[in-house]
Amino acid sequence: MKFTEINQIPVVWCDEVYDALQSGNPVVALESNVITHGLPYPENATTAQQVEQAVREGGSIPATIGIDAGRILVGMSEADRDRFATVAGIPKVSSRDLPMVLAQGGMGATTVASSIVIADLARIPFFASAGIGGVHRGGEKSMDISSDLIQLTRSKVAVVCAGAKNILDLNLTLEYLETHCVAIMAYQSDDFPAFYSYSSGIRSPHRFDDECKIARAIENHWNLGNSSSILITSPIRPEDAILGVELDALIDQAMLQAEAKGIRGNAITKYLMRTIDQATQGRASQANRSVLVSTAQLGGRLAAAHAKFRKSLSIQENRSPVGFSA
């Protein structure tokens, strides 16, 4: 393990991750919230290991991110993963919570938003997640908008996911991202996926089938002066998907139950996900595991293609006449 500070923030690096970044080799950041607030032990630890292995199969180094003893962990050992999987009461840490949790010196599990903050801080260009948050149903009145969307407008990270959760208002989610100029592309698919479902029924702004062209598009995005993320979506495997029609009926029913019970705010997502999983007899959990692995593997492949593209640019620049770029 290596200890450094970035902007006076203490960081503990896994040797493998640190060495890869120093050499310009591909790394994919992963959140730790899926370990602490997802499946029960030992399934959570096993799934986290499978997700990391999927990144490796894609050709990159996994960097699971967490908070421990007032320090940021960039890359976890097996012992770290098991500790996060078994210690009770580890708080979920979003981007707004990071300064306080680091100051208090405890443990924390990163969400999509806080993982993107840390990936950008650590200069890790890629982050993979099953799905991002978005604008909640009724968000035009409640203003309930996930901090994931806000962070996508602020951090230079390529985010690979299976779209956004079906429990959200996906039309408003995409409108928000369009308004804030967050670039979106679908990999080998025409539509924006919906987490458990293969398609949301909404057309993606751009489709890309070639990993090298995705790498070029990412570099173009940042070279044009953008300081925002770029969102790359890939749908769940068809054999693991749940039909949108089935989910819509379950979500509508669960929303009514949540309202009757006075469940709102941060608690509603967990309630809806658990209720839907029970109604589908565990198929929703299986779908969740499926997209965790598939997006991690794709993230590994795209990060590898991006690192190769960056190295080719460096070679071209070194061969160019002084004062010119290839």
Sequence ranges of the domains in the chain: 1-124, 127-319
Number of H helices, E strands in the chain: 13, 14
- Which CATH topology does 1-124 take? Indigoidine synthase fold (3.40.1790)
CA 260 to chain centroid, in Å, comes to 32
Closest by CA to 7, choosing from 130, 98, 75, 134, is: 98
**How do residues 43-81 score in pLDDT, each as one tens digit?**
899 999 999 999 999 999 999 999 999 999 999 999 999
pLDDT score at 266: 64
Q: What is the pLDDT of residue 27?
A: 98
Token pair in block for residue 277: 């999983």
Mean per-residue pLDDT of the chain: 91
Give the pLDDT confidence score for residue 279 in this predicted structure. 84
Greatest alpha-carbon pair distance for the chain in Å reads: 70
Q: Which two tokens stand for residue 290?
A: 């499926």
Give the predicted TM-score (pTM) of the model. 0.91
Q: What is the pLDDT of residues 121-180, one digit of tens each?
A: 999 999 999 999 999 888 888 888 999 999 999 999 999 999 998 889 999 999 999 999
Of the residues 2, 16, 31, 259, only one is catalytic, namely 31
pLDDT single digits (tens) 244-254: 777 778 877 88
* Res. 318: pLDDT tops 70: no
Distance of CA 172 to the CA centre of its chain: 20
Among candidates 40, 36, 35, which has minimal Cα distance to 50? 35
- Residue 22 in this model has a pLDDT that exceeds 80: yes
Tell me, what's the pLDDT at 315? 67
**Tokens found for residue 309:** 């593209």
d(CA 232, CA 72): 26
CATH number of 127-319: 3.40.1790.10
CB count in 10 Å sphere of residue 314? 10
| Active site (annotated) includes residue 31 | yes
Active-site hit among 165, 175, 261, 308: 165
**Average pLDDT rounded to a whole number, residues 288-305:** 96
What values do phi and psi take at 262, rounded to 5? 75, 25
Residue 259 tokens, joined: 């309202």
Indicate if 165 belongs to the active site: yes
- Amino acid letter, residue 216: R
Can you tell me the distance from the alpha carbon of 83 to that of 92, in angstroms, rounded to the nearest whole number? 15
Domain 1-124 and domain 127-319 have a common topology? yes
Q: For residue 144, which of 266, 229, 243 has the smallest C-alpha distance?
A: 266
Query: Given this model, what pLDDT does residue 265 score?
Result: 67
CA distance 320 to 112: 40
